[in-house]
Amino acid sequence: MDLFEKCRNFSLADQYREMGIYPYFHALESRQDVEVMMEGKRRIMLGSNNYLGLTTEPSVIEAGIRAFEQYGTGCSGSRFLNGTLEMHLELEKELADFVHMEGAVTFSTGFQSNLGIISALVGRGDYVICDRENHASIYDGCKLSYGKMLRYKHNDMQELESILSRIPDEAGRLIVTDGVFSMGGDIANLPEICRLAEKYGARVMVDDAHGLGVIGEGGRGTASYFGLEDKVDVIMGTFSKSLASLGGYMAASEKVCDYVRHNSRPFIFSASIPPSACAVALAALRHLKAHPELPVHLGELAAYARDGFKARGIRIRESATPIIPLYTYEAENTLRKAKEMYEAGVYVNPVLPPATAPGECLLRTSYMATLTKALIDEAVDIAAKVLL
């Protein structure tokens, strides 16, 4: 059989294109902001993970420009060899301090962070236990490891305990969960996860890609939100969301960080974060530290939007974060509604299986701290016209 037979037989994208409802790869012609120019028309952006709106913050932009001028365009090597800048170390130290951990390790992308952390920590004979709604990068990190992956139903603590109770005593065990789940916007039951981890001798890793800058004291994330910073062993996050850049990180004890630096293949064999991206992440982190009111304001705007949808009779999936999913149920209907929203001037993200269960498709809306109530009202009114 020809290896490319599967490519020739792949037809779903073409079907959606022919129906005029293909939703992907719309081209931006402006900055990532609350209002964007996309394919020649103004759109209100309710589909970005730029939670704090720092992609347009002047001090953050200036930091990137200065790094270009000082260091050039790239590092041309792995952190393990010639690719470590003093600024990488500075970013790691300030990140670790911010989330109240001993150390931190930076990776070239958020996806790569989960690959690099899990594959380094989970070895042959170990177990990694995952929430079924964890991000795809966690799943791939588990596949890259030599351990055995076990999954529990979303936020089902009874099933998690059942799984933990069956793991051999001599095996290492790592529970991995999203802090804020990227599609539903709900928050992991971290208090119970930590309790069970302590009971069964497991370690806890939280993917805080959508938690940093969003929840917790000053935006410190899920562990801070629950007051469990001393109970979580590993925090993973990204720079591509609240920190307005590109890259990812792990924060943990210094011994764990040092082990990962010397055993993580995705870390050792990848070029380091470019100077400009590193400088932007560092400037964004400092801006967040200087403005702890930003996550609070973001939460207030999200609550305002949530109330607006409810007042207009739009069914939403409940959450306490700036991710508000709107129910659209079937896949084709979801794509049609996403197109209608887009044509009416609001960009949202359609969420289809396997990211949702069949019949529970969503339009994922997400919010920035730089939005105004007037823009939210305009977007919610458009959603009501399209969905009701």
Spatial distance between the Cα atoms of 370 and 228, rounded to a whole number of angstroms: 29
Contact residues for 354 (Cβ-Cβ < 8 A; gap 6+): none
Given the residues 145, 182, 245, 276, select the one marked as catalytic: 182
Alpha carbon of 176 to those of 118, 192, 203, 210, 365: distances in Å? 9, 13, 9, 15, 25
Is 182 annotated in the active site? yes
Given the residues 88, 135, 241, 287, select the one marked as catalytic: 241
Given the residues 210, 287, 337, 339, select the one marked as catalytic: 210
Alpha carbon of 130 to those of 109, 151, 274: distances in Å? 21, 5, 32
Is 210 annotated in the active site? yes
Q: What is the CA radius of gyration of the chain?
A: 21
User: CB of 189 within 8 A of CB of 159?
Assistant: no
Write down the residue that tokens 């939460």 correspond to.
299
Do the strands 203-207 and 361-366 form a parallel or antiparallel pair, or are they unpaired? Answer: unpaired
Tokens linked to 228? 């469990």
User: CB of 363 within 8 A of CB of 349?
Assistant: yes
Spatial distance between the Cα atoms of 352 and 23, rounded to a whole number of angstroms: 11
Alpha carbon of 345 to those of 16, 48, 96: distances in Å? 21, 15, 40
Nearest to 344 by CA among 73, 44, 9: 44
Is 241 annotated in the active site? yes
Q: Is the CA virtual torsion 90, 91, 97, 103 positive or negative?
A: negative
DSSP collapsed to 3 states, 325-376: EEEEECHHHHHHHHHHHHHHCEECEEECCCCCCCCCEEEEEECCCCCCHHHH
Tokens linked to 126? 């170990």
User: CB of 96 within 8 A of CB of 107?
Assistant: no
26 DSSP assignment: P
Catalytic residues: 182, 210, 241
